[in-house]
Amino acid sequence: MKMTGSQILIECLKEQGVDTIFGYPGGAVLNIYDELYRHQDEITHILPSHEQGAAHAADGYARSTGKVGVCIATSGPGATNLVTGIATAYMDSVAMVAITGNVSVDLLGKDSFQEVDIAGITMPITKHNFIVKDVNDLAHTIRRAFHIAQKGRPGPVLVDIAKDVTANKTDYTKEEIKPIEVTNHTIKEEDINAAIKMIEKAKKPVIILGGGANISDSQKEIVEFVKKVNAPVVDTLMAKGAFPATDPLYMGMVGMHGTKTANLSVTKCDLLITIGARFSDRVTGNAKRFARNAKIIQIDVDPAEINKNVETKQAIIGDIKEVLKVLNKKLEQQDHTDWVELAMEKKAKYPLKYNKDILTGPYILEKLHELTNGDAIISTGVGQHQMWAAQYYKYKNPRSFITSGGLGTMGFGLGASIGAQVGNPDKQVVNIDGDGCFRMTLNELATASRYNIPIIQIVMNNCVLGMVRQWQTLFYGERYSQTTLPNNVDFVKLAEALSVKAYRISKKEEVEDILKKALQADGPVLIDCVIDSDDKVWPMVAPGAAIDEVFSEEDLENRTK
């Protein structure tokens, strides 16, 4: 059957099970949008306020559902507005297909109106990208893009389509989509056996979970493995929810703002079993002194991560879920009772602390956890509020913490929360932002309002760029260069102007009542939380220090006495 390129594109998206698209129309994609008009009952389209919001929404949709997120933008500035969102997805290994229009083939390379080399621009921040100049290549390219986005380590793929391709006709044959093999790598029995021997010899093992633990949807296998090894568990920012934070073996997050117990456990262990972690500098601190007493077993789907940042004694390449199934079958029950009890004692000795006399971010997060029973999907921007959300909300479900860990994209959370809510209509989605992050992308609140997407937008409003200011306080002699934000925006009135219900919290006593009202609302809600500008994230590891040199506010005060 002959079809136009636009018809073929939509049919291919339906083949892939796409039911939601986040996008913004324009001249180069008008043919695509004309075809979408005919499929409104099959594909939901969300129109954001800005193309960056479309990319972040597709990202949040993908992270929270495990499906491929899809975004569309027109040529030129429409395409370039996707770039930050694509880079965010790339750094955190998120399966996304970004579709951009471009000028017609005969106008390419002639500095035509709204022409830009988006394939060249995005080459370093995509798993792969395609330029489609012939309608006969379109169906194969779309199918290939989805395959690449999902196979092995996930990531974004860009498909740039010349406008005349979407109008030209060719034959289309529907294809049945086969399940994608996660990886080409066969799990080697000798690697499994070597790892088991190391586990059996270990006296003080620790298990560290990274983002791959969430991506692989292997919580069941992880819990079984942890119980078999009988070892303390720590996680990175991207692994929240892969192992329940309420489990007694959980020691907290590791790294720059990790718990003292987690950081000390990693430093003192004799075996570090790493599941889907890439050893980012925010996790390792001084990499030469990271886990310096331990041999490291690294389980990862991507061989490029092995020995990249730290030295690995034994690697197991393969899909985490499948690797753990094999390990769980072959590994006998281990007993590390004394080591586990020591870790638990340290956990009790070094709890996370904050000022309970005033309204703080940690208090709001603890209360939110209590009222949602840890079942909400939490998204964040980047900064102090992000760390508080990681520390004080106890995640028990996979894919329930949506944050920009690799690129550190301020303003990511609101768009991501919209995507997560659209993908999970039966879940409560809450975006935690600082006022700095919220100012960057607050226009997407209009999107939530337009579609009545029932997210809760919490703004930790301290009138400063909190995390940068914290560094200026601790390491730059309190020289607060350009980190004070003017208190000239009334976020409550702004939300109300967008037909969004809004509340302001300025006292601890107001938190529970207002959170309950927000949780019972049937549309989007904004909560402006007025907190102290000097509130900090504790504990902390100084730049260049080893993670066992983690210090608290109390430690800092004792040093200066």
Beta strands in 226-322 (DSSP E): 233-235, 250-253, 271-275, 295-300, 314-317
Residues contacting 150, CB < 8 A, separation 6+: 68, 95, 180
The rounded distance, in Å, linking the Cα atoms of 312 and 208 is 14
Nearest to 102 by CA among 160, 157, 51: 160
Query: Among residues 15, 114, 133, 313, which one is catalytic?
Result: 114
The rounded distance, in Å, linking the Cα atoms of 226 and 242 is 12
Catalytic site includes residue 169: no
Bridge-based pairing of strands 2-4 and 169-171 is antiparallel
Contact 100, 161 (CB under 8 A): yes
Indicate the residue type of 102.
N
Indicate the residue type of 230.
N
Catalytic site includes residue 114: yes
Tell me how far CA of residue 445 lies from CA of 49, 428, 460, 499, in angstroms. Answer: 9, 16, 16, 10
Q: How many residues does the chain have?
A: 561
Residue 520 backbone zone (phi > 0: left; psi -120 to 50: alpha; other: beta): alpha
With 0-12 / 13-18 / 19 or more C-beta atoms within 10 angstroms meaning exposed / middle / buried, residue 443 is middle
Catalytic site includes residue 467: yes
Catalytic site includes residue 553: no
Bridge-based pairing of strands 295-300 and 271-275 is parallel
Tell me how far CA of residue 87 lies from CA of 17, 184, 190, 404, in angstroms. Answer: 24, 25, 37, 10
Query: Among residues 91, 387, 467, 540, which one is catalytic?
Result: 467
Bridge-based pairing of strands 501-505 and 525-530 is parallel
* Two tokens, residue 241: 């929810």
The rounded distance, in Å, linking the Cα atoms of 271 and 85 is 37
Nearest to 24 by CA among 524, 454, 444, 498: 444
CB neighbours of residue 321 within 10 Å: 18
The rounded distance, in Å, linking the Cα atoms of 332 and 76 is 58
Nearest to 431 by CA among 422, 450, 418, 443: 418
Query: Among residues 51, 322, 366, 444, which one is catalytic?
Result: 51
3-state secondary structure of 457: strand
Residues contacting 127, CB < 8 A, separation 6+: 90, 148, 149, 154, 155, 156, 157
H/E/C letters for each residue in 352-387? CCCCCCCCCHHHHHHHHHHHHCCCCEEEECCCHHHH
Query: Among residues 16, 127, 163, 219, which one is catalytic?
Result: 163
Contact 239, 264 (CB under 8 A): no
Catalytic residues, by residue number, are: 51, 113-114, 163, 467
